[in-house]
């Protein structure tokens, strides 16, 4: 199928004008083809015999694919034998690299790669207090790359965390430790890189609040079955927590930001990522425009994202663009956790388990009493470059107040 015009990408065979076995002259019309732009008769490129029709009437053939085979006689010795060519083949292209090859200049010799460090490498070295002469370079001519430095730091960290070296072994060469080596999946590698980068570059600080969600717990108990039946998803504590967090983020936009050397970038949108544990590892699908969703819509969205995450059906858009992260650590019974910030966000919040506990309550008119209340801890790790305790505390106080206010008068839709 020849390329007939700009933007023509395929053709549909309308009618063959010659039959198999017919002689064809050069330029004689062979076949009628319909394209998006025009209907055309395709003339034969060669004189010969129409040996075999490949595309039947009604077939749609992309440009470059065969329509038919024509047997052609050649004068041996005068030129290369014309091979049995599919009619309508494109001329063979030579692929020389013609565009300017975008070849990075070699690092200046004389100084040698050891004396030539990129700004990224120098910045990392400064940050970690490294002696770059100790780092092995895998770049051109042994240049130290950013990844080399990162690898060095990660390895050094692993070594530091290892138990103290065993006393010097006897002269016998030490045997490698017995055990299986688990190959690293791409997901595991990514998680490792992300966690390391976050832990490395962000000074983490942490605080926790506890909220009395008895009102919410009792109400939810009453309506959850009905909700499940009507909406097809569970009305989880997490949906309420996301709603509370989003409203608190609107009051405290500094928590919805990113650190950069040029300034703290306050994000325009609120896109909350919710951590999901899958068989492969942790993944954080993002709810875009979280502030636009009602509690019921959030519940359904969380259910959908969780399912798709576990089924490995998330799209690129689903995991991009997050501005804040929530982890439902309570789902596996945790009552307190110290999460690692999802780089490069400003903070991450965990929703711990809702646990009935005895607490002191006001008991008018006498004073105080001990009652059984549903208590839940909410923990926040935050980037201390961006936030101070007071701001983080104010945000968490706001989240707490909202969690404690959920009840039968809360609109779900």
Partner 1 sequence: MAVKQYIEAIRDALDEEMGADPRVLVMGEDVQEGGVFRATEGLLEKYGPGRVIDTPLAESSIVGVAIGAAFNGMRPVAEIQFADFIHPAMNQIISEAARIRYRSNGAFCCPIVVRAPFGGGIHGALHHSQSVEAFFFHVPGLKIVVPSTPADAKGLLRAAIRDDDPVLYFEHKRAYRLLKDEVPEGDYTVPIGRAQVRREGDDVTVFTYGFMMHEALNAAQRLSKEDGIEACVVDLRSLSPLDRDAVLEGARRTGKVLIVHEDNLTGGVGAEVAAIIAEHAFESLDGPIMRLAAPDVPAFPYAAPLEDFCLPNAEKIGDAIRRLAAY
The residues of the shown chain that bind partner 1, judged by CB under 8 A, are 3, 6-9, 36-37, 90-91, 93-105, 118-121, 123, 139-140, 143, 145-147, 193, 260-262, 265, 316, 320
Which one of 80, 234, 388, 413 is the catalytic residue?
388
Structure tokens at 280: 């492969």
**Closer residue to partner 1 in complex, CB, 194/247:** 194
**Closer residue to partner 1 in complex, CB, 222/317:** 317
Concatenate the DSSP letters of all residues of 257-268 into one string: EE--TT--EE-S
| Catalytic residue check, 252 | no
Least Å distance, CB 307 to partner 1, is 19
Least Å distance, CB 260 to partner 1, is 8
Least Å distance, CB 7 to partner 1, is 4
Structure tokens at 155: 């390895």
Cα–Cα nearest to 379, from 322, 328, 333: 328
Least Å distance, CB 276 to partner 1, is 18
Tell me the sheet residues that pair with 351.
Answer: 378
Least Å distance, CB 99 to partner 1, is 5
**Closer residue to partner 1 in complex, CB, 9/294:** 9
Q: Alpha carbon 2 to chain centroid distance?
A: 41
CA pair distance 408, 223, nearest whole angstrom: 9
Name residues whose C-beta falls within 8 Å of residue 182's C-beta, 6 or more positions apart in sequence.
Answer: none
Which one of 327, 366, 384, 409 is the catalytic residue?
384
Least Å distance, CB 108 to partner 1, is 12
Cα–Cα nearest to 392, from 404, 377, 382, 402: 382
CA pair distance 294, 233, nearest whole angstrom: 14
CA pair distance 255, 266, nearest whole angstrom: 8
Cα–Cα nearest to 53, from 72, 43, 35, 66: 66
Residue 285 has φ and ψ, to the nearest 5°, of -70, 150
Burial of 222 from C-beta contacts in 10 A (0-12 / 13-18 / 19+):
exposed
Q: Provide Rg for the chain, Cα atoms.
A: 34
**Closer residue to partner 1 in complex, CB, 99/134:** 99
**Closer residue to partner 1 in complex, CB, 91/110:** 91
| Catalytic residue check, 204 | no
**Closer residue to partner 1 in complex, CB, 126/175:** 126
Query: Is 33 in a helix, a strand, or coil?
Result: strand
Structure tokens at 13: 């065979």
Least Å distance, CB 270 to partner 1, is 16
**Closer residue to partner 1 in complex, CB, 35/377:** 35
DSSP 8-state symbol, 76: B
- Structure-token match 């998803």, residue found: 233
Q: Which residue pairs from 90-97 have beta carbons closer than 8 angstroms and sit at least 24 positions apart in sequence?
A: 90/2, 90/3, 90/63, 90/64
The catalytic residues are: 384, 388
């Amino acid at each position: 199928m020849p390329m007939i015009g700009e933007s023509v990408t395929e053709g549909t065979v309308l009618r063959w004008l010659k039959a198999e076995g017919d002689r064809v002259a050069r330029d004689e019309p062979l076949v009628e083809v319909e394209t998006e732009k025009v209907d055309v008769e395709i003339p034969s490129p060669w004189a010969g015999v129409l040996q075999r029709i490949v595309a039947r009437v009604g077939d749609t053939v992309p440009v470059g694919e065969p329509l038919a085979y024509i047997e052609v006689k050649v004068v041996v010795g005068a030129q290369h034998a014309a091979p049995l060519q599919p009619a309508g083949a494109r001329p063979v292209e030579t692929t020389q690299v013609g565009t300017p090859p975008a070849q990075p200049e070699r690092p200046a010799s004389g100084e040698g790669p050891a004396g030539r460090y990129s700004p990224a490498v120098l910045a990392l070295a400064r940050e970690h207090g490294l002696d770059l002469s100790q780092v092995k370079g895998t770049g051109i001519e042994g240049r130290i790359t950013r990844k080399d430095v990162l690898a060095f730091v990660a390895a050094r960290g692993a070594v530091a965390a290892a138990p103290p070296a065993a006393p010097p072994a006897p002269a016998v060469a030490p045997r490698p430790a017995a055990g299986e080596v688990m190959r690293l999946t791409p997901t595991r590698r990514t998680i490792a890189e992300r966690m390391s980068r976050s832990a490395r570059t962000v000074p983490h600080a942490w605080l926790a609040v506890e909220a009395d969600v008895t009102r919410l717990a009792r109400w939810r108990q009453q309506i959850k079955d009905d909700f499940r039946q009507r909406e097809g998803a569970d009305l989880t504590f997490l949906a309420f927590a996301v709603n509370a967090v989003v409203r608190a983020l609107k009051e405290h936009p500094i928590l919805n930001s990113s650190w950069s050397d040029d300034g703290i970038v306050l994000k325009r949108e609120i896109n909350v990522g919710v951590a999901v544990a899958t068989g492969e590892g942790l993944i954080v699908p993002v709810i875009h425009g979280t502030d636009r969703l009602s509690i019921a819509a959030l519940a359904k969205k969380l259910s959908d994202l969780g399912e798709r995450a576990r089924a490995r059906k998330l799209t690129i858009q689903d995991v991009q663009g997050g501005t804040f992260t929530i982890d439902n650590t309570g789902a596996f019974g945790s009552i307190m956790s110290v999460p690692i910030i999802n780089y490069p966000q400003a903070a991450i919040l965990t929703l711990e388990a809702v646990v009935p506990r005895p607490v002191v309550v006001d008991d008018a008119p006498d004073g105080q009493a001990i009652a059984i209340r549903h208590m839940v801890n909410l923990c926040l790790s935050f980037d201390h470059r961006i936030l101070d305790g007071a701001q983080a505390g104010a945000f968490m106080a706001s989240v707490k107040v909202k969690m404690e206010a959920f009840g039968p008068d809360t609109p779900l839709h």
